[in-house]
Amino acid sequence: SGPSESHEFQAETRQLLNIVAKSLYSEKEVFIRELISNASDAIEKMRFMTRSGQTLSGADRPLEIRIDTDKVGRTITIHDSGLGMTKEEMMTNLGTIARSGSKAFIQEMSEKNQTVDSKEIIGQFGVGFYSAFMVSDKIEVFSQSSLPDQPAHHWESDGSGTYTIREAQNVSEGTKIVIHLKPDCAEFADETNVREIVKKYSSFVGSDLILNGTKANELRPLWLMDPKEVEPDTHEDFYRYIGNTFDKPRFTYHFRTDAPIDIRALLYVPESRPGLFETNREGADVGVALYCRKVLIKSKAENIVPKWMRFVKGVVDSEDIPLNLSRELLQDSAQIRKLRTVLTNKFLRFIQERARKETKSFLEFYKDYGFFFKEGIITSNEQYEKEELAKILRFESSKQPAGELVSLPEYCDRMNAGQRDIYYLSAPSRQLAENSPYFEALKKRDVEILFCYESYDELVLMQLQQFDKKSMTSVEKEMRMDNTPPSEETDKDSLSSSDQSELMDWVKSQLGPKVAKVKTTTKLESHPCVITVEEMAAARHFVKTQAANFS
């Protein structure tokens, strides 16, 4: 073997190792699931590359995962005949945390310096390879890449901050991970115990799993089964396996369709509330994997569902996707676009149906996940898709008591005859909405007004523009558009027109270039004045800060 090089882990990796060692104590067995999942990924990569015609060494070997336990030596070894890793891959993949957003998360966790809920970490993050350091004080990784002309390497670390790497001989294609167990973790060198764990986590792995020479799993591509024949318990296990979590699915959508494209899909909405990763657009990965006839094409197939659907976990299998599709083609093939449109629309209709059939669960879901549909409206380029997304939204309204929500289709159904706009008012709370001068101005006309309490709601509805051919109209805009001439019969409290113009001139001189126009209105009763803006939420924030400076 060659000279041994010593390297430091990336700073975030060291922090993660600390968190893992400290907080995942009760869920130690999870490391087996993580290592099997990595082995399975490596095998799927190998299958994919073989089918897409790459030149690979030892391409005809059987693709399988072997687990061997050794009670005397206190080790558990996981060996896969997958694609393997080159030296560079071992250094980057095992020494750094690649996921964007993960750094911020770890930073936050270690700043708080408190025990973190292990489920939360794994759920949001997938601790992956490092979870093995919960049970181990020394891990060795032997890997032989199947890419041409790559020497094998041996990687070793005690998880405390550094690792060594050197060239190795006589390593067969794939990766072998030897876990030297801590004295109090000897249970993971016990075959009976390990077989139980493997059964629990890995009945869905797409390759043979062999434990101490005996097959330990059954191959079950659940998504290809008849939806009626899958039990909820099986969904739960499968969801946990593919989603890398401990919670349950709150909605399960299992369907097949042949037109306009062949699709077998199994999609889950998590029961847990979205965490930092899911809400952060940059941080989270799409959770849907793409298969073609049981062969994994891509595990985080970000092109087959829009980014706002990143909270959905599942599997999509389509016979119409060519197997040898390159990663580049995966991005802009017409088939992929078709797949994406069908999946998105079917999923939206599924959620709309939950609203009708399981209203209570839907409303809970909406509270936790409504944000994503709003993001969808902002980022979508298709009016049809925006309106389908908008059907999910719910609002409080001026014609309903606080706490009751109305949807846009319901609003349209009960609109006044002749009303052509859907009115909304953006305010931080119901109380402020009801006391707003904008609301006062429209109240007399007896139109229903939707109340939006999130700062981004206004942006969402502006992006939507229309719903069911009706314009989405901010009451602020409505007020600005008001062109009715001031009424002739001025009551005795009104200012004379010369006083009015004098007042206008004074206000203009005080506000200067901060305002475009100053005018009188007869719409207000209890408020002396109101600020209106064209229609930008951002502008409104600007106005707010300016008003604060002015007062």
Q: Any contact of residue 173 with ligand ADP (CB under 6 A)? A: no
Per CB under 6 A, the list member of 29, 34, 68, 387 interacting with ligand ADP is 34
Q: Which of 85, 269, 297, 393 binds ligand ADP (CB under 6 A)?
A: 85
Of 201 and 362, CB closest to ligand ADP: 201
CB 126, min distance to ligand ADP, A: 5
- The residue within the footprint of ligand ADP, chosen from 128, 159, 306, 376 (CB under 6 A), is 128
To ligand ADP, the closest distance from the beta carbon of 262 in angstroms equals 29
Tell which residue, 43, 85, 418, 345, has the closest CA to residue 206.
43
Beta bridge partners of 29: none
Task: Determine which residue in the list 118, 175, 207, 436 makes contact with ligand ADP, applying CB under 6 A.
Answer: 175
Is residue 38 a contact point for ligand ADP (CB under 6 A)? yes
CB 126 to Mg ion: min, Å = 6
Tokens matching residue 406:
């109305």
* Shorter beta-carbon distance to ligand ADP: residue 75 or 436: 75
3-state SS class at 391: coil
CB 393 within 8 A of CB 370: yes
Least Cα distance to 299 among 271, 327, 262 occurs for: 327
76 contact, one of Mg ion, ligand ADP, none, CB 5-8 Å limit per kind: none
Does the annotation flag 483 for ligand binding? no
Q: Does 284 interact with ligand ADP (rule: CB under 6 A)? A: no
Q: Does residue 126 touch ligand ADP according to CB under 6 A? A: yes
359-379 helix and 334-357 helix, angle to the nearest 10 degrees: 150
129 contributes a contact to ligand ADP by CB under 6 A: yes
Calculate the alpha carbon distances from 361 to 358, 370, 411 in Å.
Answer: 6, 13, 22
Looking at beta carbons only, is 34 or 448 nearer to ligand ADP? 34
Residue 127, annotated ligand binder?
yes
Candidates 124-132, 155-163, 261-269, 514-522; binding stretch for ligand ADP (CB under 6 A): 124-132
Tokens in use for 315?
């599997």
Q: How far is the CB of 37 from Mg ion (least distance, A)?
A: 5
- The residues, any chain, with a CB within 8 Å of residue 404's CB and separated by 6 or more, are 396
Spatial separation of the C-alpha atoms in residues 212 and 195, rounded to whole Å: 10
Task: Check binding of 243 to ligand ADP (CB under 6 A).
Answer: no
Binding site annotation covers 34?
yes
Q: How far apart are CA 331 and CA 337, in angstroms?
A: 8
Number of residues counted as binding ligand ADP (CB under 6 A):
13
Instruction: Determine whether the annotation assigns residue 212 to a binding site.
Output: no
**Residue/partner pairs of 103-109 with CB below 8 Å, 24 or more apart:** 103/12, 104/276, 104/280, 104/283, 105/276, 105/277, 105/283, 106/12, 106/15, 106/16, 106/19, 107/12, 107/15, 108/276, 109/15, 109/19
- Judge whether 379 is annotated as a binding position: no
- Rounded to the nearest whole angstrom, what is the least distance from the CB of residue 360 to Mg ion in the complex? 36
Q: Which residues of 51-75 are buried (b: 16+ CB within 10 A; e: fewer)?
A: eeeeebeeeeeebbbbbbbeeeebb
Nearest distance, CB of residue 65 and Mg ion, angstroms: 13
Q: Tell me whether residue 126 or residue 249 sits nearer to ligand ADP (CB atom).
A: 126
Q: How far is the CB of 300 from ligand ADP (least distance, A)?
A: 9
> Phi first, then psi: what are they for 283, rounded to 5°?
-75, -40
Contact partner, 85, from ligand ADP, Mg ion, none, Cβ < 5-8 Å per class = ligand ADP
Q: Given the complex with ligand ADP, which of 142 and 423 has the nearer CB atom? A: 142
Q: CB of residue 313 vs ligand ADP: minimum separation in angstroms? A: 14
Instruction: Give the residue, chosen from 42, 116, 181, 452, that forms a contact with ligand ADP under the rule CB under 6 A.
Output: 42
Q: What is the footprint of ligand ADP within residues 91-120 (CB under 6 A)?
A: 93-94
User: Of these partners, Mg ion, ligand ADP, none, which one is at the site of residue 93 (CB under 5 to 8 Å by kind)?
Assistant: ligand ADP
Residue closer to ligand ADP, measured from CB, 290 or 450: 290
The two structure tokens encoding residue 382 = 């298709």
Q: Which does 42 bind (CB under 5 to 8 A by kind): ligand ADP, Mg ion, none?
A: ligand ADP
206 is in an annotated binding site: no
Q: Shortest approach of ligand ADP to residue 77 CB, angstroms?
A: 12
* Cα distance between residue 404 and residue 399, in whole Å: 10
Out of 82, 123, 270, 314, the only residue in the binding site for ligand ADP (CB under 6 A) is: 82
DSSP 3: P
3-state secondary structure of 188: helix
Residue 167 vs 285, nearer CB to Mg ion: 285
Task: Choose the contact partner of 80 out of Mg ion, ligand ADP, none; CB within 5 to 8 A by kind.
Answer: ligand ADP
The residue with tokens 């207000």 is 524
* Stretch near ligand ADP under the rule CB under 6 A, chosen from 36-44, 193-201, 413-421, 487-495: 36-44
Q: CA-to-CA distance for 163 and 156, rounded, in angstroms?
A: 6
Q: Please give the Cα distance from 238 to 266 (Å, whole number).
A: 10
Per DSSP, the three-state class of 407 is coil
In order of 231, 397, 537, the CA distances from 433 in angstroms are 47, 10, 16
Annotated ligand binding at 246? The verdict is no
Measured CA to CA, the distance from residue 88 to residue 532 in angstroms comes to: 59
Q: Dihedral of CA 278/279/285/291: which sign?
A: positive
Please tell me whether 124 is known to bind a ligand.
yes
Cα(234)–Cα(249) distance, integer angstroms: 11
Q: Tell me which of 29, 80, 458, 478 binds ligand ADP, using CB under 6 A.
A: 80
Do 97 and 13 meet the contact criterion of CB atoms below 8 Å apart?
yes
80 is in an annotated binding site: yes
Binding residues for ATP: 34, 38, 80, 85, 93, 100-101, 124-129, 175, 327
Binding residues: 34, 38, 80, 85, 93, 100-101, 124-129, 175, 327
Q: Which residues bind ligand ADP (CB under 6 A)?
A: 34, 38-39, 42, 80, 82, 85, 93-94, 126, 128-129, 175
